[in-house]
């Protein structure tokens, strides 16, 4: 059981874990919370990549610690740069990010949009159940977000949705 890890490697792994943890706090403070957010599919992919780099650095501290430090700062820097360009350029945003898509509008399922987004009706119904929807007529909008999440906006008292909430949603 312990044959693959010698007792000298364990303290190195512990030290690597502590160093990586402190380094991640530093990167997050410098680059901002978006570094590990899941706001777009790119954010999600970067977060997964960073997690893989971190795991490798902790598991193989001798060969991976310095490359991990460099890789993480490069990814965090690119993430900050990407976010700044995304905020300042609508053309760049349109080229590099997905648009949220409306799946249900005013209690009506938009089957064409389900097909476009490859969301099954069963998945949609599951999300409606998760959101405690009892009547499809209560649902004002269901949005397939850029991250792959599904947002359900519903109301029993007939409150309407402010238009600004759905401004960037297609469909």
Lowest-pLDDT range of 40-49, 69-78, 139-148: 40-49
Q: Kindly state the tokens that stand for 80.
A: 């900050």
Q: What's the pLDDT at 4?
A: 65
Q: What's the pLDDT at 34?
A: 67
Predicted confidence band at 1 (pLDDT cuts at 50, 70, 90)? very low
Q: Kindly state the tokens that stand for 152.
A: 């359900």
Q: Is the pLDDT of residue 66 over 90?
A: no
More confident residue, 139 or 24: 139
- pLDDT mean over 125-144: 94
- pLDDT mean over 1-16: 73
More confident residue, 75 or 41: 75
Q: Kindly state the tokens that stand for 19.
A: 């160093």
pLDDT, tens digit, 9 for 90 and up, residues 10-62: 888 888 888 888 888 888 888 777 666 667 777 778 888 888 988 888 888 77
Q: What's the pLDDT at 101?
A: 94
DSSP assignment of the chain equals --TTS-TTHHHHHHHHHHHHHHHHHHHHHHH-GGGG--SSHHHHHHHHHHHHHHHHHHHSHHHHHHHHHHHHHHHHHHHHHHHHHHHH-HHHHHHHSPPPEEEEETTEE-HHHHHHHT--HHHHHHHHHHTT---GGGEEEEEE-TTS-EEEEE-SS-PPPPGGGGTT-B-
Q: What's the pLDDT at 37?
A: 67
Q: Is the pLDDT of residue 139 over 90?
A: yes
pLDDT, tens digit, 9 for 90 and up, residues 87-134: 899 898 888 878 899 999 999 999 999 999 999 999 999 999 999 999
Q: What's the pLDDT at 5?
A: 65
CATH superfamily, domain 98-166, is bsu07140 like domains (3.30.240.20)
- The residue extents of the domains of the chain are 9-94, 98-166
């Amino acid at each position: 059981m312990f044959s693959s890890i010698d007792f000298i490697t364990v303290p190195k792994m512990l030290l690597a874990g502590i160093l990586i943890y402190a380094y991640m706090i530093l990167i997050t403070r410098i680059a901002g919370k978006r570094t590990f957010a899941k706001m777009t599919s790119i954010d999600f992919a970067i977060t997964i990549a960073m997690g893989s780099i971190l795991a490798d650095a902790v598991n193989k501290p001798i060969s991976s610690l310095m490359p991990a430090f460099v890789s993480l700062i490069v990814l965090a820097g690119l993430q900050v740069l990407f976010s700044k360009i995304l905020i300042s350029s609508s053309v760049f945003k349109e080229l590099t990010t997905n648009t949220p898509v409306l799946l249900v509008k005013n209690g009506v399922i938009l089957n064409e949009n389900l097909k476009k987004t490859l969301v099954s009706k069963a998945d949609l119904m599951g999300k409606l159940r998760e959101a405690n929807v009892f009547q499809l007529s209560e649902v004002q909008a269901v949005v397939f977000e850029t991250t792959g999440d599904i947002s359900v906006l519903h109301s029993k008292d007939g409150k309407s949705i402010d238009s600004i909430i759905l401004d960037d949603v297609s469909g």
